[in-house]
Amino acid sequence: MALAADLKGQPQTIGLHAPNGIGWVIAQLACALAGKIVVPLPTFFSPAQLGHIVQDASIELILVSEQMAGLTAQSGVPIKVIDVHRLGDDFPDVVEGFGQIIYTSGSTGRPKGVRHQSGQIAWSAAGLAAAIGASASDTYLSVLPLPLLLETICSIFIPASLGAYVHFDTSLAERTGRGDVSGIAKAFETHRPTTSVLVPQLLRYWIAELQAAGQLAPPSLRFIAVGGAPVPKQVANVAWRLGIPVHEGYGLSECCSVVAVNRPGERRPGTVGQPLNGLSVSIDDGEIVVDGPSITDGYLKQKSATRPWRTGDLGEIDREGFVTVHGAKTASLSHPSAEMSAPNGSRQWCSPIRALRFAL
């Protein structure tokens, strides 16, 4: 990959500012091959938000799409336009050091970077792929913004490791980031994927559009992960009747997005499924506590993370290992950021759609 070779002599921390699509994929994989630290910069951020993260993360180079180049240049940091047509002659040697910094905010609203620089992303991608039975025959539809870590894992790293097909609905993802989630039923009917990831608000819109049209979801679907907030049982039940195979999960940015998920054929309604194999999940005084390879290295410019990780969420685990999340331990604390289904008080700083509550 030509871009990966170009990046080997560039600064270690690199911003990525592009809409969903092949440009983002090329840049993300190039950074992984070149051993760089990626900081996603959502296209729906204001210049002030972008400027804060660029400065806070000490970003020294930003990879941009052509359409974002003008806005990104205002940051004062050097930019490099992603050339989606350029091919390298040889596959470059992989350089160690790849990681990602994900910005979240606690109850104070002050953004903080979560560091995943010790193989957490690769481990989580492999663990989730095994849990959901992902294979090369899958077709994934990406409808959430790629700065969402879970979306990056599911639409880039898992398919790339398996040779599976991905369709990026760029316009829908861009509209979703700005609060317009209409047209989701049409997207799934057009592309007929086998898998995708949604947040509850998108699921509700999909259900409403199907019901309004008197239609069912495409029969190609085998697994739809839904998280970012609790999924009410009645909503999940309606989804299944319409042919949407909803599987609830739970995670947080500090645990690299996924802690537990309902597996195909093993879903238990009302729970968020069982932990990924290799993760230790326990309950201490009612609080969900997680340990394993996906735990963050810590917050940017703060001390290294202490393991095991206390999530700030209340829950329980039954005899078969299924996890149920009951809510935040205390509303007055600054809790970790929800990725799949944690109903706690922290949100990612970037999304204007508060109802979605997804973490980037």
Give domain status of residue 60, yes or no.
Answer: no
d(CA 229, CA 235): 13
pTM of the model: 0.90
Kindly list the distances between the CA atom of residue 45 and the CA atoms of 71, 105, 162, 253, 348, in Å, as whole numbers in the listed order: 11, 14, 32, 19, 12
Give domain status of residue 28, yes or no.
Answer: no
Give domain status of residue 94, yes or no.
Answer: no
Check residue 335 and give its pLDDT.
35
Burial 221-236 (b: 16+ CB within 10 A, else e): bbbbbbbbbbbeeebb
What is the count of structural domains for the chain?
1
- For residue 328, pLDDT over 90 is answered with no
Give domain status of residue 73, yes or no.
Answer: no
Give domain status of residue 156, yes or no.
Answer: yes
- The β-bridge partners of 347 are 105
Check residue 344 and give its pLDDT.
34
pLDDT in tens, 274-291: 999 999 999 999 999 999
Give domain status of residue 314, yes or no.
Answer: yes
Give the pLDDT mean for 249-271. 96
Q: What are phi and psi of 31, to 5 degrees?
A: -65, -40
pLDDT in tens, 25-84: 999 999 999 999 999 998 888 888 888 899 999 999 999 998 888 777 777 899 999 999
Q: Residue 141: which CATH number?
A: 3.40.50.12780
Domain encompassing residue 216:
134-295+302-360
d(CA 40, CA 52): 13
Q: In what order do the strands lie in the sheet with 309-317?
A: 280-284, 287-291, 309-317, 323-328
231, HSE (Cβ side, Cα atoms, 13 Å): 32
In the chain, count of helices (H) and strands (E)? 11, 18
Give the pLDDT mean for 190-210. 97
Check residue 92 and give its pLDDT.
62
DSSP 8-state code for residue 154: I
Give domain status of residue 96, yes or no.
Answer: no
Give domain status of residue 91, yes or no.
Answer: no
- For residue 360, pLDDT over 90 is answered with no
- Answer whether 341's CB lies under 8 Å from 228's CB: yes
Kindly list the distances between the CA atom of residue 357 and the CA atoms of 138, 146, 156, 235, 343, in Å, as whole numbers in the listed order: 27, 15, 22, 17, 9
